[in-house]
Amino acid sequence: MSSTAVLVSAGLDSAVLAAFEARTSHVHPIYVSAGLAWEAEELVALEQLLATPPFASLAPLARLMFTVRDLYPATHWALRGEPPAFDTPDEDVYLAGRNIVLLTKASIYCAQQDIERIVLGPLAGNPFPDATPQFFESMSRALTLGLAHEIRIDTPFRDKDKSDVIRIGIDLGVPLDLTLSCMKPEGGLHCGMCSKCRERRDAFTEAGMPDQTRYAVQPAR
Protein backbone atom coordinates (compact mmCIF):
# COMPACT_ATOMS: atom_id res chain seq x y z
CA MET A 1 0.00 0.00 0.00
CA SER A 2 1.14 3.53 -0.70
CA SER A 3 1.65 5.95 2.17
CA THR A 4 -0.59 8.95 2.75
CA ALA A 5 -0.28 11.66 5.39
CA VAL A 6 -3.58 12.80 6.89
CA LEU A 7 -3.80 16.08 8.75
CA VAL A 8 -5.87 15.24 11.82
CA SER A 9 -7.37 17.04 14.73
CA ALA A 10 -9.83 15.23 16.95
CA GLY A 11 -12.58 16.65 14.75
CA LEU A 12 -15.29 14.61 13.11
CA ASP A 13 -14.22 15.40 9.54
CA SER A 14 -10.53 14.55 9.88
CA ALA A 15 -11.24 11.44 11.96
CA VAL A 16 -13.54 10.04 9.31
CA LEU A 17 -11.08 11.06 6.62
CA ALA A 18 -8.27 9.10 8.32
CA ALA A 19 -10.43 5.97 8.50
CA PHE A 20 -11.58 6.52 4.91
CA GLU A 21 -7.98 6.73 3.65
CA ALA A 22 -6.88 3.72 5.70
CA ARG A 23 -8.94 1.48 3.43
CA THR A 24 -6.48 1.99 0.58
CA SER A 25 -3.33 3.60 2.05
CA HIS A 26 -0.90 3.27 4.92
CA VAL A 27 -1.97 6.37 6.83
CA HIS A 28 0.46 8.59 8.72
CA PRO A 29 -1.62 10.91 10.95
CA ILE A 30 -0.14 14.35 11.59
CA TYR A 31 -1.23 16.85 14.23
CA VAL A 32 0.19 20.36 14.00
CA SER A 33 0.01 22.39 17.20
CA ALA A 34 -0.33 26.10 16.49
CA GLY A 35 -0.77 27.42 20.02
CA LEU A 36 -4.57 27.65 19.94
CA ALA A 37 -6.66 27.54 23.09
CA TRP A 38 -8.39 24.19 22.53
CA GLU A 39 -5.36 22.10 21.56
CA ALA A 40 -4.73 20.42 24.94
CA GLU A 41 -8.29 19.09 25.02
CA GLU A 42 -8.08 18.19 21.35
CA LEU A 43 -4.94 16.11 21.81
CA VAL A 44 -6.45 14.15 24.69
CA ALA A 45 -9.48 13.36 22.54
CA LEU A 46 -7.29 12.48 19.55
CA GLU A 47 -5.18 10.00 21.49
CA GLN A 48 -8.35 8.27 22.74
CA LEU A 49 -9.80 8.23 19.24
CA LEU A 50 -6.71 6.78 17.59
CA ALA A 51 -6.67 3.92 20.12
CA THR A 52 -9.99 2.58 18.76
CA PRO A 53 -10.23 -0.27 16.20
CA PRO A 54 -10.90 1.78 13.01
CA PHE A 55 -7.45 3.34 13.40
CA ALA A 56 -5.47 0.23 14.35
CA SER A 57 -3.53 0.17 11.07
CA LEU A 58 -2.38 3.81 11.25
CA ALA A 59 1.24 4.78 11.85
CA PRO A 60 1.99 6.47 15.20
CA LEU A 61 0.77 10.05 15.46
CA ALA A 62 3.34 12.64 14.37
CA ARG A 63 3.05 15.76 16.54
CA LEU A 64 4.50 18.90 15.00
CA MET A 65 4.53 22.54 16.10
CA PHE A 66 4.15 25.78 14.14
CA THR A 67 2.93 28.53 16.44
CA VAL A 68 0.72 31.41 15.42
CA ARG A 69 0.95 33.05 18.84
CA ASP A 70 3.46 35.53 17.46
CA LEU A 71 1.19 36.27 14.46
CA TYR A 72 -2.24 36.71 16.05
CA PRO A 73 -2.78 39.45 18.67
CA ALA A 74 -3.00 38.28 22.28
CA THR A 75 -6.67 39.35 22.26
CA HIS A 76 -7.53 36.95 19.40
CA TRP A 77 -10.47 34.73 20.29
CA ALA A 78 -8.64 31.54 19.29
CA LEU A 79 -5.81 32.30 21.72
CA ARG A 80 -8.11 33.40 24.55
CA GLY A 81 -10.50 30.50 24.06
CA GLU A 82 -13.54 32.74 23.62
CA PRO A 83 -15.07 31.79 20.26
CA PRO A 84 -17.76 33.82 18.49
CA ALA A 85 -21.36 33.10 19.36
CA PHE A 86 -23.45 30.06 18.46
CA ASP A 87 -25.19 31.60 15.45
CA THR A 88 -22.23 33.39 13.84
CA PRO A 89 -21.25 32.67 10.21
CA ASP A 90 -18.13 30.77 9.16
CA GLU A 91 -16.35 34.01 8.29
CA ASP A 92 -16.27 34.97 11.99
CA VAL A 93 -14.14 31.95 12.87
CA TYR A 94 -11.64 32.31 10.04
CA LEU A 95 -8.05 31.65 11.14
CA ALA A 96 -5.80 33.49 8.71
CA GLY A 97 -3.26 31.21 7.05
CA ARG A 98 -4.43 28.09 8.88
CA ASN A 99 -3.97 25.68 5.97
CA ILE A 100 -0.75 27.37 4.95
CA VAL A 101 0.66 26.67 8.41
CA LEU A 102 -0.57 23.07 8.46
CA LEU A 103 0.59 22.16 4.98
CA THR A 104 3.99 23.82 5.25
CA LYS A 105 5.03 21.94 8.36
CA ALA A 106 3.41 18.68 7.27
CA SER A 107 5.09 18.81 3.85
CA ILE A 108 8.55 19.19 5.35
CA TYR A 109 7.83 16.16 7.52
CA CYS A 110 6.57 14.22 4.51
CA ALA A 111 9.68 15.03 2.48
CA GLN A 112 11.79 13.61 5.30
CA GLN A 113 9.62 10.48 5.50
CA ASP A 114 9.40 9.99 1.71
CA ILE A 115 5.63 10.49 1.68
CA GLU A 116 4.22 12.16 -1.42
CA ARG A 117 0.50 12.53 -0.70
CA ILE A 118 -1.13 14.70 1.95
CA VAL A 119 -4.89 14.80 2.50
CA LEU A 120 -6.99 17.14 4.58
CA GLY A 121 -10.69 17.56 5.10
CA PRO A 122 -12.33 20.80 3.91
CA LEU A 123 -15.97 20.25 3.01
CA ALA A 124 -18.33 21.65 0.40
CA GLY A 125 -19.09 25.31 0.86
CA ASN A 126 -15.88 26.13 2.72
CA PRO A 127 -15.58 29.92 2.18
CA PHE A 128 -11.95 30.45 3.13
CA PRO A 129 -9.25 31.49 0.63
CA ASP A 130 -6.84 28.74 1.74
CA ALA A 131 -9.38 26.00 1.02
CA THR A 132 -9.94 26.46 -2.71
CA PRO A 133 -8.83 23.99 -5.39
CA GLN A 134 -6.61 26.71 -6.88
CA PHE A 135 -4.87 27.22 -3.55
CA PHE A 136 -4.19 23.51 -3.05
CA GLU A 137 -2.91 23.11 -6.61
CA SER A 138 -0.58 26.09 -6.25
CA MET A 139 0.59 24.95 -2.83
CA SER A 140 1.37 21.50 -4.18
CA ARG A 141 3.53 22.98 -6.92
CA ALA A 142 5.33 25.38 -4.60
CA LEU A 143 6.08 22.77 -1.96
CA THR A 144 7.26 20.28 -4.57
CA LEU A 145 9.66 22.87 -5.96
CA GLY A 146 10.81 24.12 -2.58
CA LEU A 147 11.44 20.69 -1.11
CA ALA A 148 12.66 18.93 -4.27
CA HIS A 149 10.18 16.22 -3.34
CA GLU A 150 6.82 15.44 -4.91
CA ILE A 151 3.95 16.74 -2.77
CA ARG A 152 0.36 16.06 -3.81
CA ILE A 153 -2.40 17.66 -1.77
CA ASP A 154 -5.83 16.00 -1.97
CA THR A 155 -9.16 16.96 -0.42
CA PRO A 156 -11.38 13.85 -0.80
CA PHE A 157 -14.38 15.37 1.02
CA ARG A 158 -14.45 18.70 -0.86
CA ASP A 159 -17.83 17.87 -2.44
CA LYS A 160 -19.43 16.53 0.74
CA ASP A 161 -21.43 18.09 3.55
CA LYS A 162 -20.82 17.23 7.20
CA SER A 163 -23.96 15.08 7.21
CA ASP A 164 -22.40 13.02 4.37
CA VAL A 165 -19.23 12.61 6.43
CA ILE A 166 -21.26 11.40 9.41
CA ARG A 167 -22.85 8.68 7.27
CA ILE A 168 -19.43 7.62 5.96
CA GLY A 169 -18.05 7.55 9.49
CA ILE A 170 -20.86 5.33 10.71
CA ASP A 171 -20.30 2.94 7.79
CA LEU A 172 -16.60 2.78 8.68
CA GLY A 173 -17.27 2.19 12.38
CA VAL A 174 -15.69 5.45 13.54
CA PRO A 175 -16.73 6.21 17.15
CA LEU A 176 -18.12 9.65 16.36
CA ASP A 177 -18.95 10.29 20.02
CA LEU A 178 -15.19 10.40 20.72
CA THR A 179 -14.54 13.10 18.14
CA LEU A 180 -14.23 16.70 19.27
CA SER A 181 -15.54 19.57 17.12
CA CYS A 182 -15.60 22.50 19.54
CA MET A 183 -13.73 25.77 20.03
CA LYS A 184 -14.19 25.86 23.81
CA PRO A 185 -14.11 22.27 25.10
CA GLU A 186 -13.64 21.48 28.76
CA GLY A 187 -13.11 18.12 30.39
CA GLY A 188 -13.93 16.28 27.19
CA LEU A 189 -17.27 18.06 26.81
CA HIS A 190 -18.34 20.15 23.84
CA CYS A 191 -19.34 23.59 25.07
CA GLY A 192 -22.62 23.51 23.11
CA MET A 193 -22.42 27.28 22.61
CA CYS A 194 -20.01 27.84 19.70
CA SER A 195 -20.72 27.68 15.98
CA LYS A 196 -18.79 24.41 15.62
CA CYS A 197 -21.13 22.78 18.13
CA ARG A 198 -24.07 24.16 16.14
CA GLU A 199 -22.67 22.74 12.89
CA ARG A 200 -22.16 19.37 14.55
CA ARG A 201 -25.68 19.25 15.99
CA ASP A 202 -27.24 20.30 12.69
CA ALA A 203 -25.22 17.76 10.72
CA PHE A 204 -26.41 14.85 12.86
CA THR A 205 -29.98 16.05 12.38
CA GLU A 206 -29.50 16.31 8.61
CA ALA A 207 -27.93 12.86 8.50
CA GLY A 208 -30.89 11.42 10.40
CA MET A 209 -28.54 9.96 13.00
CA PRO A 210 -28.64 10.21 16.81
CA ASP A 211 -26.17 12.72 18.23
CA GLN A 212 -24.37 11.08 21.16
CA THR A 213 -22.11 14.10 21.68
CA ARG A 214 -21.76 15.24 25.28
CA TYR A 215 -22.50 18.97 25.42
CA ALA A 216 -21.96 21.10 28.53
CA VAL A 217 -24.95 23.13 27.38
CA GLN A 218 -27.42 21.45 25.06
CA PRO A 219 -27.43 23.43 21.79
CA ALA A 220 -30.64 25.29 21.12
CA ARG A 221 -32.93 24.10 18.34
pLDDT per residue over 92-138, tens digit each?
A: 888 999 999 999 999 999 999 999 999 999 999 898 999 999 999 99
The span from the CA of 10 to the CA of 41, in Å, is 9
Q: Does position 218 have pLDDT exceeding 90, yes or no? A: no
Instruction: For residues 140-156, give the mean pLDDT.
Output: 98
The span from the CA of 52 to the CA of 29, in Å, is 14
Q: Does position 203 have pLDDT exceeding 80, yes or no? A: yes
Q: Does position 219 have pLDDT exceeding 70, yes or no? A: no
- How much is the pLDDT for 86? 80
- How much is the pLDDT for 163? 98
The overall average pLDDT reported for the chain is: 95
- How much is the pLDDT for 105? 97
User: 59-94: per-residue pLDDT in tens?
Assistant: 999 999 999 999 999 999 999 999 988 888 778 888
Per DSSP, helices labelled H in 81-194 are 98-113, 133-147, 162-172
Q: Does position 220 have pLDDT exceeding 80, yes or no? A: no
pLDDT band at 168 (very low <50, low <70, confident <90, very high): very high
Can you give the pTM of this predicted structure? 0.94
- In the sheet that 62-65 helps form, which strands lie side by side, from edge to edge? 62-65, 26-33, 3-7, 117-119, 152-154
Nearest to 19 by CA among 183, 165, 194, 213: 165
Instruction: For residues 156-164, give the mean pLDDT.
Output: 97
- How much is the pLDDT for 87? 82
- How much is the pLDDT for 211? 95
- How much is the pLDDT for 130? 95
Q: Does position 192 have pLDDT exceeding 80, yes or no? A: yes
C-beta separation of 46 from 11 below 8 A: no
Instruction: For residues 31-54, give the mean pLDDT.
Output: 97
